Amino acid sequence: MNIVTKPWGREIIFAVTKDYVGKILEITKGHQLSLQFHKVKEETIYLRSGKMRFVFEDEGGNLKEHILNPGDAFHIPPKKKHRMIAEEDCEVFEVSTPHLEDVVRLEDSYGRVPGNGSTS
């Protein structure tokens, strides 16, 4: 298990295989992850606790906000822009393909360089 401190909270990586990765994202109320997309990484998130605004690119290329509550899940295919914004402290389970460095940042609240390849 690997625990990584992030400016928005922390990431607990509990499984890494050649086929998939399992994570728990703990996002602090009022914080948000980068507006980002992945070139090949595919992921599904499940909101275990808290309330989140989830920004996701629709089929027309427009960014739409969705309110996620505990028990809600969302599939994120490659190349779709997305962002998680914590309305409350959130615990998010994430399963994905094992492309951990496949992150292209478009906007970031914490001064991290867009497209630098570091995770969420």
Tokens of 97: 């393909």
106 vs 119: which has the higher pLDDT = 106
pLDDT of residue 111: 86
Tens digit of pLDDT for each residue in 28-84? 999 999 999 999 999 999 999 999 999 999 999 999 999 999 999 999 999 999 999
Produce one character per residue of 104-119: b if its CB has 16 or more CB atoms within 10 Å, e if not: bbeebeeeeeeeeeeb
Closest listed residue to residue 96, CA positions, set 115, 112, 119: 119
Tokens of 4: 């990584």
**Do 85 and 55 contact (CB within 8 A), yes or no?**
yes
Average pLDDT over residues 12-19: 98
Residue 120: band (very low, low, confident or very high) from pLDDT cuts 50, 70, 90: low
Residue 32 is classified by DSSP as B
Structural domains in the chain plus CATH codes: 2-107 (2.60.120.10)
Average pLDDT of the residues of the chain: 94
pLDDT of residue 119: 47
* pLDDT > 50? residue 85: yes
113 vs 8: which has the higher pLDDT = 8
